[in-house]
Each structure stands twice: as structure tokens, then as C-alpha cells.
A and B are shown apart, each in its own frame.
Chain A
Amino acid sequence: MSGVAVQTQQAPAARHPLLVMRGHGPERRRYLSRTERWGLVFILPFFVMFLFFLVIPIFYALYDSFFTTRLVGGTVFTGFTNYETVLTSGAFWRGMLRTFIYAAIQVPVLIVIATFFATMFDMGVAKWGAVFRTIFFVPFAVPTVVAGVMWSFLLEDPYGPLDRVIYDLGGGHYNFMGSGAPLLGSIIVIAIWEWAGYTMVILFTALRSVPRDVVESAVIDGARLGRVVTRVKLPMIAPAITLVGILNIIGALQLFVEPEVLTVFTTNVSYNYTPTIYLYNQAYAAQEYNLAAAISFVLALIIIVISVSFVMLRRRKGAWI
């Protein structure tokens, strides 16, 4: 590296890129066109794949959603008919409402748990923080399907071990997969089990990058633990909290695997339990690909509107993300 530096000094001053960039004339243009060309070359491979495996399928779904395939007459253009069907169907909205309730509970609880442990480990309030952080991170390595299988067995009634523990303690039998609140509650518990540790690790490292002197000056001013956390640390990691918040909302609104796996042990997961299960059933069981495309578009739009308004809300408070 030192060799590079020496040669830099020997090079003609006008050829130094930093000088060229600040200057005018053909050299600056040549420099810019070179970086322009190579910048595009470097991002090209990703964008080719991005185009083929993300952009084109999305636009294909959009195109498809304006057609209807009939047994007689083949595929015909029907405009917004599929969207009308989706938006006026109780089946879609019941699943959507259930998913909203799920997200409204799961995401805040998850963020609170993750933030609590992240700050406690960061400040060194809990003992053996490093050990706990490793343990909490383990579920990240477990595929959602396997998590669903494990929790299905754990929550099974009456053979499941959790039910047996409750029964032995005198609590009677409890159907964790009972329709309505018990089932949704169980899915929330599974999702928190899966994601709390990962979210905690992200927030923990964000907290770690808060400079010591900021905390120090607060402590010198006489701030106690609670004050340091709420007034110094958390405001500084607000962008990281927003980011994990958005990613969790997006994930929560796409809920599919956990309830789908639970169908093996319970009949309480209906064909429209979540919008994603509904769209899957429309596409495969009912072979209504065009309607499924419209559902996926409506769902994507709802997710985008919610995430963007979440970002906007934070922006108004002066944050950049």
C-alpha cells in the first residue's frame, strides 16, 4: 500500500482523479465516462438476475391479473374484474383482517422484547450476555417449516408435552389450536420464537456502535440507567429499530408457513386464513391463476402502502429512514 501511495505522488498532478473530478474539460469528462461505464458494468450482473427473477414475474402477474381464463372461450381480457372480485370478497378481507390483528400484536411485542434484551445486554445489566445472545440467536438457524413441526407437536392436545405439563399442574386440558384467539396466539408465539433473537442481535450491534463519549457525558450529567437508555441510546438507534420494524411488518403480512404447517394437526386454519394462504389455494386448489395474481397484487400494494407510510411517519419526525 505504501508503494501505491508513493507512485500517486509521482504521477502528474493533473491526472490525479480527485483533481480531474474537480476540474473541467476533456479529462474530467473522460474520467466520468470511465466511472460511469464501469459502475454500470459492476451492477449489471445483479440487475440481469433482478430483472429476470423479480421484475419480470411481477409485471407478468400484473398482466395476468387483467385476464380471466374460462373453461369455454379461453383466456380473455376482463380489465379490473379480478380486482373487483378480490376487493369485494369477504374471504379476502377476513383473512386480511386476521393478518392485521396478527401483525399489530406480533410486531410490537417482538420489537419490545428484542429492544429490551438488546439494551440490557449492551449496558451489561444482565450477566452472561454473550451466552444469552448465542442462545437467543439459535432459532434463526431453524427453517420455518421445522419450527412449525416442532411447535405443532409441542402444542398438540392432549399428547403434547406443554398440555401435559399444564394438566399435571392442575390446569386442565388447553387447546392451543382452538379456533380464534388460541390459534392466532400460538402462531404469534411461534413467530416471536423465530425472530426475537435475530432482531435482538441486530439492535444489540446498533447499540454497540453508539460512541462511548455520548453515554459518558450523560452519565457525568447524572443520568441513571433508565434515562441513558430512553434518552441517549434508543434515539440513536431509531433508524435500526425502524428498519427491523418494517422488515417484520412485511414478513408478518405475508404470513403463510406457520399456519400452513399447523393444518396437519388442526382443521381451524381455513382456506382463507391469511391472504397468502388464500392466494395459494386460489392458484393451486382452484386453478384460478388470474385471480391469484390479482390477490398477490392487492396484497403487495397493501404491504407497500403500510411500509411507506411507516417510513413517512418517521421522516416527519426528522429521521432519514
Chain B
Amino acid sequence: MTVAAVARPSAGPRAKSARRREDPSVVPLRLYGLRRGTVVAVTALAVVFAIFTLIPIWWIFVNSTKTEPNLFATFGFWFAHPFRLFSNMREIFANQSQGSLAQWFRNTVIYAFCGGAGATILSATAGYGFAKFRFRGNHALFMVVLSALLIPLTAVAIPLYILYAKVHMDSTMEGIILPFMVSPVGVYLMRVYISGSVPQELVDAARVDGAREASIFLRVAVPLMTPALITVFLLSVVASWNNYFLPFIVNNTTSLDPLPVGVYVWFQHSVSGGGYQDFYLYTICAGLLTIVPIIVLFLTLQRFWRGGLLLGSLTG
């Protein structure tokens, strides 16, 4: 679709001077006859929404540094003495009475990486097949993939669990990873991107040269698809990392749980009384540990991140 939008650097170097800062693709604001008050008001609204967005993140960080009694005795939005962030982090890995956090963390990394890599490969090949080949049923099959977006995950997870039980795949790593590899959104994004950025002439030229289809895909198409590959990989990694419902349903073995399920198990323990109050604090620290890797991943890969650009290229 809009190749130009994808080719534009998302966060180019910005000059300090107002005159040089003007982006050639954007009509300068002064031409709209904008009042200064509007800028101030809209920026203020953005600040309010930013505060709303950051409140829970700030809260979880602040409270990961507290002791269990201070969690309820001190003001939630500010630090309290003693500062316990590091000893808390050691403690949540050491206490294995309700499941091992290290194991959950390792599981989540494996599920997210394998699920993400698998989803990327499957989406890339399928997207390429849909975008660059004419075959009977191309359109119909693509519609089938798109209509899968309408299917609630809940309609799939429970029958999947029952089927797993029949073939002894319940409570296995494969049982959790393989469904993550099916990403209709990924196929859709890949097809849109490939139609726009892998020229048919290039593919045809390589065919005339006698190149095999597999090597045309790997050596002509894949290099041109890199931004889409990174985007789909990131999207699928996050989707797998954050997924709670599917592992929760199809897995009954605590040692195979991913972090979100583990966090919830601890959270439920915390209210059960009888010496489990520490788990209030453990839940909070484990929650922080769950979100930090993904936030870091996004901030470092921000310039490769084209998710919006792919979906956003849907202009009329």
C-alpha cells in the first residue's frame, strides 16, 4: 500500500530550530490559523493522560521497593524506608513454596521466543504465498484467515484442552507454544506489506533467470520484508509473553506455567491468609519483573517497530 509511509524514518534526528524542524510531509501548523491557547490546552490534556498511563507503572515500581508491612502502612505513591528492591527481588526467586519464579521466567522466555519465531516464519511464508502467487482459492482462503480474527480465543482454548487430553499433549511445552504460532494478524500484515514492497517484476525477473521459488523467497523477498518481519516478531513475542488465558486453560503443571499465570497464582495465595501475606509483595515484585523486559525490548527496538505503519497503511 503506502510504501512511502513505511520508508519514512519514524524518529529522525530533530533539529532544535523551529524552522528546520518542519517535516516536509506535514503541513505547517501556522497555516491552519491555530491559536496558542489550543496548543496549551491540548498539551495539558496529553499530560493528564500521560499521568493516568504512568500511575500504575510508577506504583508497581515504588511498591517493589517496600517491605510487606509498609505496603499497606505507607502512602502508595511514594517510597518508604527501608529500600528493599534488591533484597525483594532475591527473595522472590528464593521462595519456592508456591512455585518457582525462575522456572516461570524461563518458561515465558521459551514460549515467547519460540511462539514469536514460529509465528513470524509461518506468517511470512503464508503472506508471501497470498501476495505473490495466483492460485485458485487464494482470495477465499485469505478470507478464511481474516475471519479467524472474529473467533474468540475462549471458543478455542477449552476444546483444545480436551483434545490435548486425548492425545496426551496437555501440560506439555509444545501444547502451549504451537497455538502461539498461529497468527492470522501476522499473515494479514505480511500480505499487506509484501504486496506493497516486494515488486512483482523483481520476482518474475528472478523466475526468468531460473531461480528456484524457495531461493527467490529467501534471497529476493525476505531482505525486502525485514521491517515487517521484525514487527510481526515483536507483536507475536508480546502476544505470547502476555497471554494468560491459553496457558491457564491447557496447562495443569505449575512448573510449566508462564509468568502471567504464576503471578496470578501468587496473587490468589496472598489473600488466603495463614502466613501468605508476603505474597502481596511477591506478586507486586513478580509483576514488575514481568513487564520490565518487554518495556526495555520496545524502547530499544522502537525504531524498528512498524506495527502502526503496517496497520495504519489502511487509508481509504
Q: Which of B136, B271, B314 touches A243 (beta carbons < 8 Å)?
A: B314
Give complex CA distance A300, B153 in Å: 9
Give complex CA distance A228, B26 in Å: 13
**Are A42 and B125 in touch, CB under 8 angstroms?**
yes
Does B94 interact with chain A (Cβ within 8 Å)?
no
Interface residues on chain A, size class: 35 or more
Chain A residue at minimal CB-CB distance from B126 = A46
CB distance from B194 to the nearest CB of A (A): 11
**Are B284 and A265 in touch, CB under 8 angstroms?**
no
**Residue in B56, B181, B263 whose Cβ sees the most chain A Cβ within 10 Å:** B56
Interface members, chain A 116-149 (any B CB < 8 Å): 117, 120, 122-128, 130, 132, 134-147, 149
Residues of A within 8 A of B217 (CB): 42
CB distance from A56 to the nearest CB of B (A): 7
Chain B residue at minimal CB-CB distance from A168 = B75
Residues of B within 8 A of A181 (CB): none
**Are A237 and B316 in touch, CB under 8 angstroms?**
yes
Give complex CA distance A57, B159 in Å: 5
**Are B298 and A36 in touch, CB under 8 angstroms?**
no
Given A132-B46, A279-B158, A8 and B312 contact (CB-CB distance below 8 Å)? no
Interface members, chain A 37-54 (any B CB < 8 Å): 37-43, 45-47, 49-50, 52-54
Does A238 interact with chain B (Cβ within 8 Å)?
yes
* Contact flags A182-222 to B (C-beta < 8 A → 1, else 0): 00000000000100110001111111111010011001000
Chain A residue at minimal CB-CB distance from B220 = A4
Interface members, chain B 100-157 (any A CB < 8 Å): 121-123, 125-126, 128-130, 132-136, 138, 141, 145, 147-156
Interface members, chain B 238-266 (any A CB < 8 Å): 238, 241-245, 259-261, 263-264
Chain A residue at minimal CB-CB distance from B157 = A57
Residues of A within 8 A of B125 (CB): 42-43, 45-46
Does B15 interact with chain A (Cβ within 8 Å)?
no
CB distance from A115 to the nearest CB of B (A): 13
Does A32 interact with chain B (Cβ within 8 Å)?
yes
Does B38 interact with chain A (Cβ within 8 Å)?
yes
CB distance from A180 to the nearest CB of B (A): 23
**Are B308 and A224 in touch, CB under 8 angstroms?**
no
**Are B314 and A42 in touch, CB under 8 angstroms?**
no
Given A36-B135, A46-B122, A205-B312, A60 and B271 contact (CB-CB distance below 8 Å)? no
Give complex CA distance A50, B181 in Å: 9
**Are B34 and A143 in touch, CB under 8 angstroms?**
no
Does B96 interact with chain A (Cβ within 8 Å)?
no
Q: Which of B32, B136, B141, B261 touches A36 (beta carbons < 8 Å)?
A: B136
Does A225 interact with chain B (Cβ within 8 Å)?
yes
Residues of A within 8 A of B8 (CB): 208
Does A87 interact with chain B (Cβ within 8 Å)?
no
Does A35 interact with chain B (Cβ within 8 Å)?
yes
Residues of A within 8 A of B138 (CB): 39
CB distance from B92 to the nearest CB of A (A): 14
Give complex CA distance A197, B77 in Å: 23
Interface members, chain A 42-75 (any B CB < 8 Å): 42-43, 45-47, 49-50, 52-54, 56-58, 60-61, 64
Among A89-97, A157-165, A170-178, the one that faces the other chain is A157-165
Q: Which of B56, B134, B297 touches A150 (beta carbons < 8 Å)?
A: B56
Does B60 interact with chain A (Cβ within 8 Å)?
yes
**Are B57 and A138 in touch, CB under 8 angstroms?**
yes
Residues of A within 8 A of B2 (CB): 209
Does A86 interact with chain B (Cβ within 8 Å)?
no
CB distance from B284 to the nearest CB of A (A): 7
Q: Which of B25, B149, B271 touches A247 (beta carbons < 8 Å)?
A: B149
**Are A307 and B316 in touch, CB under 8 angstroms?**
no
Given A149-B263, A161-B59, A292-B158, A124 and B29 contact (CB-CB distance below 8 Å)? yes
Give complex CA distance A301, B156 in Å: 13
Q: Which of B32, B46, B77, B299 touches A120 (beta carbons < 8 Å)?
A: B46
Q: Which of B27, B129, B149 touches A250 (beta carbons < 8 Å)?
A: B149
Residues of B within 8 A of A257 (CB): 244-245
**Are A264 and B268 in touch, CB under 8 angstroms?**
yes
CB distance from A159 to the nearest CB of B (A): 5
Interface members, chain B 262-316 (any A CB < 8 Å): 263-264, 267-268, 270-271, 283-284, 287, 290-291, 294-295, 297-299, 302, 307-309, 311-316
Closest 6 pairs (CB-CB, A-B): A39-B133, A161-B76, A42-B129, A205-B312, A205-B308, A46-B126
Task: Tell me the A residues contacting B by CB distance below 8 Å.
Answer: 1, 4-5, 7-8, 11, 15-18, 32, 35-43, 45-47, 49-50, 52-54, 56-58, 60-61, 64, 113, 117, 120, 122-128, 130, 132, 134-147, 149-154, 159-161, 164-165, 193, 196-197, 201-210, 212, 215-216, 219, 223-225, 228, 235-240, 243, 246-247, 250, 253-254, 256-257, 261, 264-265, 276, 279-280, 283, 289, 292-293, 296-297, 299-300, 303-304, 307-308, 319-321
Interchain residue pairs with CB less than 8 A apart (12): A39-B130, A41-B129, A45-B126, A53-B156, A60-B162, A137-B298, A145-B261, A193-B56, A240-B315, A243-B314, A250-B152, A264-B267
